[in-house]
Every structure is written in structure tokens, then in C-alpha cells.
Structure 1
């Protein structure tokens, strides 16, 4: 009986390519075959696979005649009976054990197949930490010494570490030798070699007469499976068969020379937490950030897909979110990556002259996400630490000997260490600091390139997910917190990120740096890092405050405010109850919102970024339960008014994330277009009673409508959430409103007798003059600084007979000092309107003036809230009746302008003894004057 050989034994023979044979070749001779179908009559019902009907006869632990199964004694009766070591089952019975993991893909297997499934074995009957170890051994097969035979069989294999699988051979009862081995050290992690026909040549030693074959799985826990069928020993390889071990693939020396002096390195870290980068010693990453920018963004929560590697890397490489690339987990069951390929493949599509290179050990990344770069290296090794070393070494070779344009270097060990020890462990610290040292090696290699002075390298880095405890995949803040680093190229140098850069920004940043024009048809959802925001909500980024009623937030969660952007308004009808942060529409960081209550999908509004608008009655109700007493959330967010012509098109677009959690609760939401003629249009609405439970996740939306044909000149958009209780939420971002405004070339054009900033006092005529055709009405109105009309200062003319409107002798002396705005408007019969706003200052107050006489000098201090025009001093007789001499003055042609002036002049020389009067005066910019006098005696 064969036993498992040790890992140190080398492979007996190297894998060789399958050989094709046509009908004229010598027919292969079969000396042995087994398809396990003789066991069909011995199959029994499930034992521990309780979800498989007992009427299904599908498995047996009894091997065919001459075959043996040897399990490690420590396995005992642990684990599910159906899969305790090598067993035999129908493909349908095996596939029913658990779907979605490739068991159903074994199309080459039929009848009965041999199965070693430690994954399913570990799922029941309490195996605990028990290792799975089992060998399936064939009967003796007659062979001829000195010949070569070929072991052919069909295989369906999956592995993660630490599972080891092997095919062994023993001649004439001697110790077994390994023909090939599957393991993490040989193949890497997450390897899927499914539904393959394999051929393994075996050289028979001289004098040997028999051999036994053994299929071994050992050191396995919950690490997947191996199934085999249709085994034969033949003189030749089976037609279409392939070697067991995959071809080693391309090497660094295969990287072609590139075409660009602008180059990109993207370091794709797996499972590296941002807070730990800031806590640990990472001088190389810090140095890159100092030459560019680095900061926190967030990936989606489980409403879009779990926080696992598959879609995290897909987000990074493709530039689109998970609902587009459709890689929501690590199984890649229905991907859309061909439509949204990785950045390297995108570059090859744009120009095959680009030189593209990637290296990674995680096989699904190479199999499903990185499609067709020039060179794609699959690293294999005993551990992620080892394969990271290999990836860095290969990248260093490429940088030192080749001329690449774009490189992706995947580093795995952060994730592996986090899973084994947690992200709070000393081991994780050691790993992060090692990863930083590897970054330093890559940067040094770039700087040492012979052509470095002529190249412009952009270095990008990010991670696929964070960590909470030992794992990830959930909605937790630390799991969703990702980071981006961009250094070099055209990235603005700020050290810290100027915005919340997202995973989807990596690909467009790389493309832009390489001079690729991003085609809108590609549907990319990121922006090049450094792109300035045009979102009005983001103007509030510096105004966000800390929590009031909410619990303290985790780090990097941002803040909130009730302040609105310029000219935006909130019509607040929500009672002054509940959680202050959510009392009507508020503006906040998206992560401030998401961390208010995790697990309800708030964290999946990832197309939004920076500052978003939030209406959340569910969170509002969490303080004092105001809805229990009948209170309801009712709040409308309004955009600024903007020009529109009658019958013109109004286009509205924004991002939204809307949820009605419970059917039948009368939460109501609507988007409204309102016009200045008092009419409105509902563009979109949802209602909890009529529409039931809804979750419209992370959606770009757009509407188009037509303005009424009547007396319309302005439009604004409102987002109203009413009848809100403890039932849902609505968030919007990046609103854009485009309206067909009147043609300025034919709209009325207005000028005024006033200039912007004019200073007014007393009485003055105010006029407007209009140029245009078909003039129908003129209007003039004065407003205070807070927008209140001044009833006494207005004018209106219908069907004017002249081109002007005059407000005669406006008495500004009756108005309080301060800033005002004149709004002059004119309307044509075409419906086109013109408007002119002129800011003015009313100043009826006299300036202040202090006069001092000392040591033969006149000292003056003049003050005025608006500004001083001129200051002067003259000498009069004792009766202050006769001007004797001018003492001094400021310029009569150039106004002082300042609100305070200090100065003076000496008294005239040669004055006769006696008493004199000094008269000083100050005039402000509006013409108000103050005069003061003082006497002076000359001895």
C-alpha cells in the first residue's frame, strides 16, 4: 500500500506537453483503466449531507476491487461521512453538496468519480482543527522495465493553502515517489485547475514489473477538493491531454520596450489599513506622499457587495464600481470585465505599442481581472511573504533591464498576515514595515534607471479592503476604509489628499498620465487624482462640524453642517426634535453618514464623494422617537434659481441613494421643477404606500422637462422628503441643472445711471436704460443686504414709450446707512428677460474729526465708516470771520479712500502775537462734511 511521500521529494519527471496523434500513428496501448462506474450499484443515501434527499443514492466509501483508501488515523470518524478521505460519488451528488465552488464544472466526470473533498468534510461532524490526509491507491499495474508509460486521467482540482495534493508511483512494492505535486509552494494560492484531462509520463526502471499509483491529499483543512475519473495507463498520452503542472508562463525578460517617456507604477496592496500606515514606520510611503498626495476614501458596503478582494481589485483596475464590472465576490461567476477591462488591457487596446507588465500571486487576479498585458507573471511560493519577494524581484528586473510603460505589482502579505494574526498584531506591524521597505526598493530602481532623467514616473498605490479583527467582508468602518497614494506626474503636491479619492480613480489617473484620452463610451467612473471638484456641495468641505446628538465618530469620518452652498435653500418643516444632525436635509461627509448606523446600506453611496446632501428620517427618529407622538420628517432642498426661457428645456442630473425600508409606511420623496410663475412639475417620485419597500442603490439619475410657455423666466429644482418616520433615507450628490436660457444676444440689455459700488446720500435721480426689441415692461427695485425689499424705492412701467425708467429724486437720507442692491429688470414680448444688479452704499452720516494744537502744529484724526475724501485746515482771525492763511490740505483731486486718516501741518511762520482760530474740515466719499475749530494764542 502506498503512503504519502514527504514534501522534500522532487518531482520524478518534468511535465511535458501533450502529444497529438492522428489516425495513421501507432495506436496507443492501454494496460490498465478505471472509471469507477462498477460502484453504481453500491451507492447509498446521504448521512451528514442533510440537505440532499435520502432518496438520492449517490455515494460510497468502498473502493473498487483492488483499490484502497488509506486515511490518516487521526481523522477517525470526524467530519462528514460522505467525504471522509477519498470516497466515490456521482457528479450530481457531489455538486449538490455545495454549489458555486466549481464542483458542478467537472463535465468530464461521469457515472461515478473518486472525490477527496476536505472543504465539505470540514463542514460537519466537528472535525475542529483536524487535518485531512488520504491516499487513493490503484491495484498493481503490469509494466515493462525500461519503458515509458503515460498515466492519463480526468481531473477537477481546487486549492488554497495549506492543502497539498500529489500523484505518486511505487515500483514492485518500493517506497513511493512523487510524479507531480500541487501546493501553495508550487502553484500559489487560490488555484482552480478544473475539468482537465491530464497526462503524466512515467519512466519505468530497468527490471521493474509492476507499479501502483497513488492520488494523495494531505495537510488539508477547509481547503477545497480533488476529483478524478477515467484513469488509464497507456503507451501514449491521451488525445487532447495536458501536463498536470501549468506552463510557467512569461518572464521579466519578455517585457517589450515601450513607447512613452511618461510611465506608471501601480502598487496594488491587499488588506493594508490606512490607520496602520500612519501609525507604523513607513518612510518610503511617507516620502512618496510628501511628493504628491495620500488620503482616505471608502469602498462600498454589502448593499453592493462584500468587502472582499475580488471586487476591491476590480474597482482599482477597471475604474468602475462593482455593479458595472460584476465581480461581487471571489468566485467571479458572472463577470463583466471584458466590457470594463483592467487598465493594462485598456492601454493595449488603445495602442498595442504600450509596454505593460503585471506580477501577482493571487491566481484569481490573473485569471479573471488582469486580462491581456504584454507580460503577466503568476507567482507561486510557500507563502505570500515569499511570493511578494518574487514579485518585487521580477519588478526590479523589469525596471533594471527593460523599458515598460505601465506596471502593476500586487503585494499579498498584508492580507495574509491580517487573516492570521489580526491587523492589530505585532506581526501585522512587521509585515507593513516590510511592505514599505519593498516600496523603497521599487522607487530606488526607478530612480536608478539609465533614462531616469528623461522619464516622468507616476507612482500609484492603494488597497482592496481594510480589516476588522481577523477578517473583512462586512460593513465595518475599518473594513471599508481604503486609501490612495499618487506621487509624480501632474498630481498636485499637497501631501494629504485634496479630495476623497476612490478606488475607481486609479485607472483614469494612470490613463491620463500616459496621455490617453478617456473615451466617454468606456463608462469609467473615476477621475484623475487631482481633479478639482465642480460640485456645489463640496464648497462646504471647510464648514463641517463635529457630532451633536450622534455618538462619537471613528477617525477619518468627517463632519456635518446645516449650512447650505451659496444660493441653495432648505425649506424646513421638520419639527425641532430628534437627532440634530438629521433634522431635515443636512450636508455631511459620506462616511459621517455611513457610520451613523452600519449594516443598512448607507456605505454603498460610493459614486458620491466629499460632501453630500442627506435626508435621513430613520436616523432623525433615533433620539426621543418623535414619530411615536405623530411628528414627521418634512424637508425640501432647493437649488438656486436660474434663467430659463418659456418653453425651454430643463435638464437635471445628480447621483442618488434612496431607500424605503418598510412597505406601507407613507414616506414620500419627489424631485420638483419650480418656476417663477408659480407652476411646478414633478420629475420623479417614490411613495412607501404605493411603491412598497425600495432600495435604489448608488444611482446616477437624469431627467429632462420643458418649461411652461407663459410668463416664465426662472427655474429651480427641489428635493423633498416628507411623511418621513423611522423608515428610510435619501442622499444626493453632484447636482447639475442646465436650462435653455434666453439668448443674451437678443434679450434686453440694461445700463444704469449708477455704477457698482456707488455711494449715495440725500436725494438723487436713479435711472435705467434698456436696449432691445419688443420691450414690454421695466422694473426697478432696491433691496437691503439681507434681500428685503425697500418699499419706498421702486418703479414699474408697462409697455414703455421710451427706452428708460427714472426714479426721480430718491430720498436716500431716509434710509439707514449700509449696503443695498438695485435690481433693474426688463422683459420683452418674446419672453426674454434682462437683469442688472448694482450694489450701492447709502452713507448719510458725517465723518468724525478730532483736532489738537500743540508745539506749533495742527494734529488731525479723521474717521468715516465708508471712506474719507479730503481733509484740510485753515487759519482765521480770532472771530473766526476772516480767512488769513491756508494751513494745509490733502489732495483735492485724489481721494484718501481709507476709513481713517491721521496727519497734520505746522502753523504758518511769522504770525504776529495774538489769538487766532484754526478751522479744520473733513469730507467723506459721499460728500458729508464735518468742521471743527479751536483757538490758538501766539505770544
Structure 2
């Protein structure tokens, strides 16, 4: 509808509903009473673009939208105008050639995963300027997108200040400029605010906002026109607006288009701890290049702690995007918890899993926390409430990195922080511009190392440094492949972690494969913040020793046999089982030897056997994992084509269980089952000492496609009344070129027999000699073997029935003995569950 003085709202209009409570609440926060606000917050004009519904057309140049779907029009509402640069004529996709109008559903379907669907405030018809989608058609090349959406005249006579309010979904990268402008009584327009790289920095996501902009009305002005401008853009993303209103007061919940002036280093409060943390987060710094180039400052830090490789998930779980990697690092949980798989931040879960600075503030607001960065989405979506959160803005990442380092050095020089986060961006920028193999990338990495030296020098120059305990942690969000990242390649997924100081053992090289999610618990441990299990953190403090039995076979790793050569850091594989573990191998001696039945290997050895099939997303498995991969096994000679089948069972050691007792099992697994007429069966079995077994979990190709990605599994069983021991088996059978299974970190807890035995000892005289008599009573419900021990000898009883006694008298061969102690050890079943009970006896003299 036309932007005009508002009357009684028509049915279905949302603008008056927004204005009603909106203006009242906002003015109340400014000290104006709700009653006065209700009288003074008068709507002046409104436009929601829904009058264009009847004129919507089907797609023309779009390919992702079904044919016949009515969803866009180039025609503005009555009184509104769209002015686009004449050079755009005939170029790009027609649906987005300048400001156009579309339904949110039509616009979102044009390209998913880039935040268009985040505009949930919008309904009906919206105004859209999308140079990213425009550029995807008809090869506009370097043609610049420039378009202005202008309102009709709006009466403002007698007003001193009005507010324009609108819903907005804005995203930019590169040189795009967007602005809201106003002109009065036909005069030249003046800009009220501007979005650009110079103002906000690179990659700005201001999505799904409700904005309000005050406008001072010049004395004597009678009308104004508003203009939404987007210019200097080429494939630099978009701006969409809806529900434009002009009012005497801002609407409730609305925010100014530009953020408030930021706090700076001088605003960092004094901290409370002598234990302090410097967390340096590098964007896109590849580990192999870091090792190859001159990085003496990072090398020195590694020598004071630990440095090693880790890996991100592949795209089965989430791609190797910055938003994903930084969220892993900052929250201490994987993407299926923090829900930020890419850079769109469409449905994040940072309220439940906050960033480490916010987490520390929630535990104790007296901690002093500081962050500095230039990538705006981190501040907008991930990092919530540190004491000081700086957003650096500059022409390029070299400039903004230098600003971040300078501000962090100032904090170190003049303030007393407890936790500092410094984000450095230029390696990623040079990787995108020139590739990681370029001289420019090398220069960026070496410059970043020099900036690390500046930070460490400032830390060590603090007057209080000798009395402080500093932990320095550093990592990267992803690697680089070619000009980009986001895919499944080893060079994109390989990351690195460095930790020095505090409780980190000094070994130089990492003692385990530290993950991105390990940074947060390492910081919390250092700051003496107890980790609440309810937080759901998934990492471990760096330096923690492994309790996983699979990790004990790492020393048996060997290189490839039938596999292709592996990239660096992928380690190896072995058929050696952990102590007590066994493999029942029925797989024929054909196919790829590394995968001929269950094997133990590093996660990256497995993942790089064939990228793009989801193996790289088993990130809850680490160090050494157990793998049964029928798909990879079949890649040599296609044995499944001749009827051969993969059939292998991995068994845990036998352990005792109380007859009728509970057995609890947990592990991580990554299971894939492909259905195309190819059989596969998987099951977890509890086998008991009496020969019985129970299937605790199973999957079969008859069930269809299954992909259980990076999942924790918990299972339980009840032992039969006749069983005294149990073991767990993981069996993959009847398989060939059909999928895979990997498991890690098994924990088996069985309710053990309660061995109950009473022991009574006394001395007696036989002639002139002292004898010690001992009686042990079996109070178990099953037979027990009993061994009685004294200083004068031992006596074994192979079987003592329930309720029966084991009795023996030992000759002291002396006329006098001092007070002493006898003991009886009872053992139940063949699993060697035993208990020892001691009994004293008094001194005795005979004769």
C-alpha cells in the first residue's frame, strides 16, 4: 500500500500492532510514562508492500525456484519508485535487477544457506536488493549494481522529529555500500546512515533486525521522501526490508541501524585472578605452512607447552567454514550442539552453549574479559557479553589485525585482564586472494607471527608478570584449499592447537590429538572454574591423559599397504588389539588389507581413505579409533562382486558381572549404511559366560539408508541368573561396498558380585603348643573358592557352598604367640571377583 497517513487498519495489517505496544515500551524506557507515550506515539504513514500480491509473477532467470511459482514483481507500490543505474539494463537475473519485490519464500528459495531465510520478521511481500543473486545470471562481470528505492512524499509539517522504522535483513562483503537517505520538499537527499566496509568492516551480517532511525525535520519543511540505496555492489550480497512505518516515536524492540560507540582498552576492568589467559584465534592458518615458514614466536610458545594437529568435521556434519570453526573453539562443543554449521548463523544455540568469555562472566561477573576482532559475525552472533568487545574496522585485514594487536597490547600494558581473546584475520584473507601456496600467504603468516611476538612481549613486560600465571592458547578455525575452504579436503579440515603455560605439560609436540573443543575446558581449568556437567562441554583440558583402551595400540601403527599414500599427520593403522580385546575375523583374505575386518587407526588415516563420504565427521572419536569399513575393503578387486562378504566382530575383554546384574555400555560411533540392493548388518552384542547372548543394538540394510553421524551411544543389558562374566561385541557382517562403522571410547560397567565372607580366628592350646583356628563362612548366593592365610601357613578350599564354612587349624609350633591377624579371601566364579576379610586373634601362651 502507499506510504500515506495511516487510518483504521485493514484486516491482517501488522503495522498498528507493532506500533501499539512498541512505542509505549520504548518511550517508557526513556522515562516517559506509558499513558503519555500512547497519546504522543502517533503513526504518520506505513507501507508493508503487500498490495503487490496480486501482481506477483513466476520466475524468469532463477533456476532454484519451481516453474509457475508466483513470487516476484519489478513494479513498486503506487507512489514508490525504483531508480537503477542505466548500465544494469539487460544484465543479471531479471528478478533482482535493482530493487524488486518478492515473497520471503521466493527470495529464500533463490539461494539457501546464505541467511535469506533468516528474515522471519517479514511476511507477505518484501522489498529486495540482491546483487549476489543478480550477479549469478547473464554474466554481469564487473558491472556494478546501483539502485534506489524511494518513498512517496510524507507529510511532516509541524514536526520536529520523526522516526522511520522498518524490518531489515542486511548482509555484505566487499565494496557494497548501503544507505538510508532523506530529502525535504524536493531538496537534494542527505544520508541518515551508511553501511559499508569502511564503516562496519568486512562480512557484516545485520539480519532480521527491527530498525528505527530518528529524523530531524527542518523548520518549515512540509514533506519528506525516504530512499533506500544500495550501490558499488557486485556479488556482495543483499538488503531486504519490510513493514516501513513513520511515527512520532520509535517502536518497541527496535534498534538504531548503527551500533553504539564501542568500548575500548581503557574500559577493561581490573580482574580478580593471578591466573590469566591469552587466547589467539587465527583465521585460515594452515598447519603445514605454519611449519614451513619462519614463525619463531609461535615456535617458542610451542616449546614451552604443546603443539599439534587436529581436525574439523567434514561436510557430513558441517563444512569447514569460519562460523563453524570459531564456534567450536569458543563454545567447547561440536556443531550439532551449537548449531552453526556455516557462516549464516541461521539457527544458533549460543544461549545454551555460550562463548568462553560469556561463560566466565556468567560464573563470576568479577572476572575481567576482553575481545578484539574484525569479523563482525563473531561479535553479532557468537561472542555475547565480555566486559569489552571491540569491533575493528579498516580497509583490509592487515589494518584491522594491526588495530587488534595494538589494542590488546594496550590492555596488557595498562589494565589487569583475566581472559583476553584476540582474533587475527589476514592469513584467511591472503588465502582467498592468492591461495596458501602464494608468497602473499607466506608473508601474512610470518607477519602474524611477529604480531604474536608483540603480544607475548607485552604480556611478559607487565609489572605484575612475575606474580602471574599466564596460559597462552592458540588455534585456527579451518585450513585452506586453493582459493577457499568449506569442503572435505584434508588441507581444509586440518587445524592445529597450541597451549603453553599453566597446567599444560611441557613436551613441545602434542601428547594427543587435541581438538578445537579442548580450548574451552583448558581455559576453565586454568582459571579454577569448575566445569558443570550440565554445560555439556565435549573437550578435555589439554594435557589430560587418555583413558581409552584403543589409544594403547598407537605404538603399533604401520604405514599403508594397499591404500594410497597419505598426507602428513595422518598417522597409521594396526590389527594389534588392546590388552584383553579380540577380533573374531571371518572376512576372507581379499580386498584392502588395512580394512580386512576391524582395524585400529587414526581418525584421519581413515578419513583420507576416501574424502567426500562423511568419514571425516567422526570428531568425537580421537587418537585411535576402531574401524570396520566394508566399503573401503571392497575397493581392491571388488570381492563383493564374487560373493565375498565382510564379517568381523570386535570383542571387549571378559569382565565379572553379578548374576542378574546390570551391564551398562557407552561409546561414540559413526555408522553409515547404504542401500542400493547391497546387504549389510551391524549389531552390538552382550555375550555372557553361560553361553547366552543379547543383541543390544542392530541395523540392517533392509531398514533403508542409515547415517548416524558422530553419535554418543548408551546401551544396557541384564545378565542372566546363571552368568558370572560378560563381554561386548561389535559385529559388522554380510557386508560389501555397503558402508562403514567406527567406534571409540568404549566404557563398560557391570554390576559386580558382592563377595560376602565372614572370618573368625582364635587361638587354642593343644598340649604345650599354640594353634590358630580360622573359620570362613561364605555368605554369597553362589559357590566360592576360599583361601585362608595366617603367619603360620595358608590353606585353599576349591569350593565352599553358599552358607558353608571353610575351617582350618594352623600349628604355631611354639608355646607362645603374640596377637596377630588371619584373613580369608573368597573368589566367586571364573572372573576372579574376590573379597578379603581379616580377623584378629589374641596373644596366647600354652604349657
Q: Under TM normalisation by the shorter chain, which class is it?
A: 0.7 to 0.9
Contact 2:583 2:650 in 1 (8 A): yes
Alpha-carbon distance between aligned partners in 2 of 1:770 and 1:646, rounded to the nearest angstrom: 29
SS at match of 1:329: coil
Contact persistence 2:436–2:482 (CA under 8 A)? yes
Q: Does 1:482 align with 2:532?
A: no
Q: Deviations over 1:354-404 (max 9, x none)?
A: 122222222222222222222222333333333222222222222222211
Q: 1:112 Cα deviation (Å)?
A: 5.8
Aligned counterpart for 1:159 among listed residues 159, 171, 190: 171
State whether residues 826 and 833 of structure 1, in contact with CA within 8 Å, keep that contact through their aligned partners in structure 2. no
Paired with 1:365 and 1:523, the residues of 2 have a C-alpha distance of 22
Partner of 1:373, secondary structure, is coil
Which residue number in structure 2 is paired with residue 726 of structure 1?
Answer: 737
Q: What is the match of residue 56 of structure 1? A: 70
User: Structure 1 length as normaliser, TM-score?
Assistant: 0.74
1:109–1:154 Cα contact (<8 Å) kept: no
Query: Residue 679 of structure 2 contacts residue 738 of structure 2 at CA under 8 Å; is this kept in 1?
Result: no
Alignment pair present for 1:739 and 2:750: yes
Give 1:194's aligned residue: 208
Aligned pairs (5 A) from 1:519-598: 519-598=532-611
Residues 63 and 742 of structure 1: CA distance in aligned 2, closer, same or farther (over 3 Å): closer
Gaps of at least 5 residues in structure 2 are 1-25, 761-772, 788-795, 809-823, 836-847
Offset of residue 622 of structure 1: 0.9
C-alpha change, 1:796 and 1:342, in structure 2 (3 Å) is same
8 Å CA contact 1:713–1:832 kept in 2: the answer is yes
TM-score (norm 2): 0.81
Question: Which whole-Å CA distance do the structure 2 matches of 1:296 and 1:57 have between them?
Answer: 49
Residue 452 of structure 1, aligned match among 465, 468, 473: 465
Q: Whole-Å Cα distance in 2 between the matches of residues 418 and 664 of structure 1?
A: 44
Quick one: distance in 1 between partners of 2:118 and 2:752? Answer: 60
Matching of residues 325-336 of structure 1 within 5 Å: 325-336=338-349
Matches within 5 A, 1:654-669: 654-662=667-675, 665-669=678-682
Pair 1:635 & 2:648 matched: yes
* 1:828 shift after superposition: 6.6
Residues 1:52 and 1:732: Cα distance change in structure 2 (over 3 Å): closer
Q: For the Cα contact (< 8 Å) 1:36–1:64, is it kept in 2?
A: no
Are the counterparts in 2 of residues 748 and 828 from structure 1 also a CA contact under 8 Å? no
Please state how far the C-alpha of 1:489 moved relative to its aligned partner. 0.4
Query: In 2, are the aligned partners of 1:42 and 1:60 still within 8 Å (CA)?
Result: no
Q: What per-residue deviation string (whole Å, max 9, x for no partner) do you get for residues 781-812 of structure 1?
A: xxxxxxxxxxxxxx9967799879xxxxxxxx
* Alignment check: 8 A CA contact 2:784 2:829 kept: no
Distance 1:447 1:152, change over 3 A: same
Q: Which structure has the larger Rg over C-alpha atoms?
A: 1
Counterpart for residue 807 of structure 1: none
Larger relative contact order (Cα-Cα within 8 Å, sequence gap ≥ 6): 2
Structure 2 match to 1:765? none
Please say if 1:410 is aligned against 2:423.
yes
SS in 2 for 1:323: helix
Return closer, same or farther for 1:385/1:175 CA change in 2, 3 Å cut-off: farther
Cα distance in 2 for partners of 1:47, 1:203 equals: 42
Please show how residues 177-576 of structure 1 align to structure 2 within 5 Å. Answer: 177-188=190-201, 189-202=203-216, 204=218, 214-228=227-241, 238-240=250-252, 242-576=255-589
Output aligned runs, 1:695-714, within 5 Å: 695-710=707-722, 712-714=723-725
Q: Secondary structure at the match of 2:213?
A: strand
Deviation at 1:660, TM superposition (A): 1.5
1:194 alignment partner, SS class: strand
Distance (whole Å) between structure 1 residues aligned to residue 551 and residue 335 of structure 2: 25
- How many matched pairs? 761
1:44 to 1:653, Cα distance in 2 relative to 1, 3 A: closer
CA distance, structure 2, for counterparts of residue 309 and residue 41 of structure 1: 41
* Paired residues of 1:59 and 1:93 also in contact (CA < 8 A): no
Q: CA deviation at 1:515?
A: 0.8
Provide the C-alpha distance between the structure 2 equivalents of 1:634 and 1:130, rounded to a whole number of angstroms: 60
* 2:96 maps to 1:83: yes
Whole-angstrom CA distance in 1 between matches of 2:624 and 2:642: 32
Aligned equivalents of 2:375 and 2:544: distance in 1?
32
CA deviation profile, 1:505-535 (whole Å, cap 9, x unmatched):
0100000011112122222111000001111
1:450-471 superposed Cα distances (whole Å, 9 cap, x missing partner): 2111110101111111121112
Cα distance between partner residues in 2 of 1:285 and 1:105 = 40
Change (3 A) 1:562 1:57: closer
| Structure 1 unaligned residues grouped into runs of 5+ | 1-16, 750-768, 781-794, 805-824, 837-939
The Cα shift of 1:90 comes to 5.5
Task: Give CA-to-partner distance per residue, 1:294-325, whole Å, 9 cap, x none.
Answer: 10011111221122122212211111111122
